[in-house]
């Protein structure tokens, strides 16, 4: 059974806790009504029900967004040659990787090469940075270390590729890794994530790397940067990215790739809400954070109360689809990519 999916360009995917899947976006161009048949499996009594959807922008010739849904990292590990992930002290315990889930949305700009590199490389980085042994008492620290190293290495390696190919494209990314009730989210750029807990409280899981963010503006000013009409150095909106070879060469230390990382424990059980994680490119958040979060909470209540049978028969208007189309109706013209995952 397929367990890792990549998607982009009006691609839709419906996923359940399963034996795994990878969804990437490099090359797929399927109608938005095409939803994968759901499949089931339960790890640690934390079944995940979710949806992913990407909607083309209205003023672009192609969708530069990509997304990844990996329902079991073990499946990715086994697809590769074991020696690719061999470490000095042995191989990663595949029984741990079987319980690891990964989600990411990638927002490309100036072309799609960098976005596709991130999409095709992120899971490799996560496996390669995973320690041979994962102590149960050290899961938060492990997740933080793995996500931080993985995101950092993406920019370092792509810089070498871009210098050879003379590619100037870039990408923003927000990635989430889940293991045994712990969730780690890391971001570079202006894609964002929010977690709605079981009491309905919103937890902003990312830091927006843009000039309008006071803490980021302070960093930019200290580095000698300026913000002109929302653009860093008058050139680019996100102040942290993967790629963007020319801008980083011209403005060293101003546009950077350092990620921000957050780790939280997901509490399930009694409560009005089913804990819900939404990752999305800036096309969703362009309508305003409060407006987007309000719609996310409504979807969390509606879909959180549906049984698995109900969810499996839902039409293409799933919550990820609805959120994207709501943002479009509210005036967002950019590519909009949404991952909506509920921890039941």
Residue 231 belongs to some domain of the structure:
no
Mean pLDDT of 128-149: 90
Residue 215 belongs to some domain of the structure:
no
**Nearby residues of 314 by Cβ (< 8 Å), 6 or more positions away:** 14, 306
Residue 146 belongs to some domain of the structure:
yes
DSSP string, 246-306: HHHHHSTTTSB---EEEEEEPP-SSSSS--EEEEE-HHHHTT-HHHHHHHHHHHHHHHHTS
Residue 158 belongs to some domain of the structure:
yes
State pLDDT tens for residues 261-281.
Answer: 999 999 887 777 889 999 999
Q: Does position 94 have pLDDT exceeding 60, yes or no?
A: yes
Supply the pTM of this predicted model.
0.85
Q: Structural domain tally of the chain?
A: 1
Least confident range from 2-16, 19-33, 212-226, 326-340: namely 19-33
* DSSP classification of residue 111: S
Return the number of other C-beta atoms located less than 10 Å from residue 42's C-beta: 12
Q: Are strands 101-109 and 48-55 parallel, antiparallel or unpaired?
A: unpaired
| CATH number, residue 277 | 3.60.40.10
Residue 168 belongs to some domain of the structure:
yes
Higher-pLDDT residue of 94 and 60 is 94
Structural domain boundaries, residue 43: 4-208+241-343
pLDDT of residue 81: 54
């Amino acid at each position: 059974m397929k367990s890792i999916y990549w998607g982009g360009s009006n691609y839709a995917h419906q996923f359940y806790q399963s034996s795994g899947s990878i969804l990437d976006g490099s090359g797929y161009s399927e109608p938005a009504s095409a939803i994968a048949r759901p499949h089931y499996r339960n790890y640690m009594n934390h079944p995940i029900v979710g949806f992913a959807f990407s909607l083309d922008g209205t003023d672009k010739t192609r969708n530069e967004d990509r997304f990844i849904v990996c329902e079991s990292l073990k499946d990715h590990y086994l697809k590769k040659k074991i020696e690719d992930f061999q470490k000095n002290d042995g191989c990663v315990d595949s029984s741990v990787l079987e319980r690891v889930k990964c989600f990411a949305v990638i927002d490309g700009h100036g072309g799609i090469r960098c976005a596709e590199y991130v999409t095709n490389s992120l899971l490799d980085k996560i496996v390669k940075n995973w320690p041979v042994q994962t102590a149960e008492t050290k899961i938060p620290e492990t997740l933080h270390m793995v996500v931080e190293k993985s995101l950092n290495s993406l920019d370092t390696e792509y810089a070498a590729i871009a210098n050879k190919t003379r590619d100037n494209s870039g990408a923003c990314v927000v990635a989430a890794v889940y293991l045994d009730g712990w969730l780690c989210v890391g971001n570079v750029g202006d894609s964002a994530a929010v977690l709605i807990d079981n009491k309905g409280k919103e937890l902003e899981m990312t830091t927006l790397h843009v000039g309008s963010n006071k803490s980021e503006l302070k960093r930019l000013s200290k580095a000698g940067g300026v913000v002109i009409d929302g653009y860093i150095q008058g050139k680019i909106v996100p102040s942290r990215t993967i790629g963007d070879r020319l801008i980083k060469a011209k403005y060293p230390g101003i546009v950077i790739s350092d990620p921000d990382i957050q780790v939280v424990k997901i509490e399930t059980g009694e409560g009005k809400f089913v804990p819900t994680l939404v990752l999305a490119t800036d096309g969703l958040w362009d309508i305003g954070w409060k407006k987007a979060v309000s719609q996310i909470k409504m979807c969390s209540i509606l879909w959180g109360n549906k049984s698995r049978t109900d969810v499996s028969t839902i039409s293409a208007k799933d919550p990820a689809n609805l959120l994207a189309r709501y943002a479009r109706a509210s005036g967002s013209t950019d590519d909009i990519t949404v991952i909506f995952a509920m921890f039941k």
